[in-house]
Every structure is written in structure tokens, then in C-alpha cells.
Amino acid sequence: MRLLLPLFIMLGLLSSCAGRPGADVLQAVDTRAKDAKIVTAYVASTREKSEEAKKGFSALRAAEPNYARFDISIPPTHKSGKIEWSTGKPDAKKDFVVTQAQMLSKARFNDDLGDITRSGKQIALFVHGYNYSYQEALFRAAQMAADANLDGVPLVFSWPSQANVAGYVADKESATYSRDALANLLTDLTRRSPRKNIVVFGHSMGGWLVMEALRQLRFEGRSDVIAKLQVVLAAPDIDADVFRKQIEVVGRLNPPLTVLVSKDDRALKASSILGADVTRIGALDVTDPKVQDAALKEGVQFVDISKLKASDPLNHDRYAALASLVPQLEASRNGNGQNGIGRAGAFVFDAIGATVSSPFRLASQVVNPQ
């Protein structure tokens, strides 16, 4: 019972969060605001359409994926890392608002994304984690795209999470159910992409799903698909031993697989308790020499983002604040190539300078500033 007490406290923190958005936020409304930014986002989902809400999606598992396109208005008052949900009548001056929504056929979906990749623009695929609704995943992807000034479109892969704290086990099964669909989506995307411009971003349990899809593609001999992907895992809810086995099959990626970690992630601590107290990859300590050695051996880049401000009490969503710093990171990399991006190893993210450095180099800079 003593070991379970922290778990109950953490789950209590989750369940005590503010009310969550309903499916009504997916309905397109005729509202505009001067200086609002419009983000066009696509969704591929293994959720069934809900019969209870006109534009909603349930936690039931669809026999075949469904596809959609949304235009989302980002308010001029938007603050980086945040989603300004409407609490009453949607107001584009201060809320995230859907201005256009359209269900698509698979053919139309593939044609649209094929046109985007052939134009040279990037596709950023977001695979959400445990306890996420369709609308939460969609709006999070739009927020990150807006904050990062993405030259392309966000694409959401929404699997049938229960969107409920008590649904952890059911969510893991639904993620497994969706593995084939994600692997097929990646295959379709890369078939139409002439270059390496597809970023795959998996958060929490979505990180586990991404690794399983990559593992499956490698087993199928689809190295051509994997070669066109840039993969980032944020706070991945993956058992350390399982991750080691996944990496053995997936192998080294180019650029290296990037894993964003925080050793004070309370949600992953709860997951670890549920999993016989085995450490989760997303909570690794990058100052541990064993982690540093493993990163170099396996060709993985671990980046500690603990210095970023978390907007949730569990420190599990820091990745959302990272999006606004992407332009600075890119500028730093293009300027001198010394910020650690693109190299395997263990690093610490400096939120002020928007750079990543090895823990030892960072420590030496503090002691002997130049």
C-alpha cells in the first residue's frame, strides 16, 4: 500500500484538472479575428465517429481509419505553449476555434498530403499519448504548429484513447490495435514524399506506439519508409527493457532518434509503479554515465528538457513549450552546428539560449564561463 500511495496522489492530480473540452469544439463556427493565424491540420484516426455528437469521435475502435481536415484559428492573444479553449460561445479574438471541418476519403487525404510533400513543405505527424481525446490531440498539434511557425501542415494520428485517467490498460490495448494503421500511414506518406520531410512526434504512450510501428516496418523490410522519417519521442511511456529490444530491431536512424526526457515527470513515475517499478525511458537521468554510454552505443539522442516550464502538475507536457523555440534551435544549428542537434548522446536543453549541450560541457560552462 505504501508503494501505491504516490500513484493514487498522481492520478488524483490528473483527475483534479480543469474541465476538459467536449466534442462541440470540433464544430466549425463562422467567426473571424484580425491578426488570427489559421492552421490547417489533417487527422487520420482509428476512432469510431460518435453518434452522440455531430462532429465528435468516440473511444471505440474503428474497423478502418477515417480521415479529416480542419482549419483552426489561433487567436492573436495566444501565448506560446498554451491552448486557449473556449468556455462559452467561441470567440476567435481569444479562443482556438475551428473555422472549417471536412471528412475526407482515404484517396483525397493521400492526394492532399502528397501535394504538400511534393511542394517541399513539411508534414509533422503527432501521435498523442494516454488520456487524450480527439479534440485535445487536434488542438495540441495546431498549437505546436503555430508556435513553431511550421512551414507545412500538422497531421494527427488519433488512436482510441479512453480520455480517462482510469483507462490506462484499455489505452495500451487500443494503441496496440492501432499499430498496423500507423505503419500503413507512414508507408503511404513516404511513398508520396520525394525527400526526408516527414517528422514523427510521439508523446507518452504515443511514443511506444511509434516505436512499435517502426519495429513492424523494419520486420517487413520497409527500410525505405524509415529512411524518410525524422523521429522524436517526448516523455515516452516505454519500459526501459522494452525500449532496448525495440532499438535492437529498429536500429540507428539518420538523423538519430531524439528522446525528450524529464527525470521529474510524475506521470511516468506513476506508469513505472504500474509496471513493476521499471524505469520509463522518458524519465531517464541524462547525467547518468550509463545513459550517456547507452545513447552513444545505440545512436540515440536523449535531451533533458526539465528546464522548460510545465503547464500541468505532473511535468508531463513540457514538450508543448518547446515548439516556440524551434526557430531559435534551427538558427543555432544553421549558424555553427554546435548546439548538439543531430548528434547521438545525452544532452541538457538550455531554455534561455535555445541550445542543447552535454551535461559535462554545460557544467564546465557554469564553472568557467567564456
**Which pLDDT score is estimated for 259?**
95
For the four alpha carbons of 34, 37, 42 and 43, in that order, the dihedral sign comes to negative
Q: Are the beta carbons of 284 and 301 closer than 8 angstroms?
A: no
Tell me the pLDDT tens digit for each residue of 1-19: 444 445 545 555 554 455 7
CA angle 144, 146, 71 (to 5 degrees): 105
Q: Which three cell numbers stand for residue 360?
A: 559535462
**Which pLDDT score is estimated for 227?**
96
Q: b vs e for 242-257, b when ≥16 Cβ sit within 10 Å of the residue's Cβ?
A: bbeebbeebeebebbb
**Which pLDDT score is estimated for 106?**
97
Q: Which three cell numbers stand for residue 279?
A: 524505469
**Which pLDDT score is estimated for 351?**
62
Look up cell 479512453; give the residue: 162
Smallest CA-to-CA distance from 161 within 140, 142, 175 is with: 175
**Which pLDDT score is estimated for 75?**
98
**Which pLDDT score is estimated for 355?**
57
Q: Which three cell numbers stand for residue 163?
A: 480520455
Helix pair 205-219, 168-177: axis angle to 10 deg:
30
Q: Which residues of the chain have pLDDT under 50?
A: 1-5, 8, 15-16, 335-337, 358-370
Q: b vs e for 176-191, b when ≥16 Cβ sit within 10 Å of the residue's Cβ?
A: eebbebbbebbebbbe
Percent of the chain with pLDDT over 70: 84
DSSP 24: G
CATH number of residue 14's parent domain: 3.40.50.1820
pTM over 0.85: yes
Instruction: Report how far residue 262's alpha carbon sits from residue 270's, in angstroms, rounded to the nearest whole number.
Output: 14
**322: CB partners within 8 A, 6+ apart:** 234, 260, 305, 308, 349
Structurally, how many domains does the chain consist of? 1
Q: At 233, give phi and psi (nearest 5°).
A: -115, 125
Look up cell 545525452; give the residue: 346
**Which pLDDT score is estimated for 104?**
96
CA angle 183, 220, 199 (to 5 degrees): 35
DSSP 239: B
Instruction: Report how far residue 63's alpha carbon sits from residue 60's, in angstroms, rounded to the nearest whole number.
Output: 10
Instruction: Report how far residue 122's alpha carbon sits from residue 2's, in angstroms, rounded to the nearest whole number.
Output: 48
Containing structural domain, residue 353: 5-367
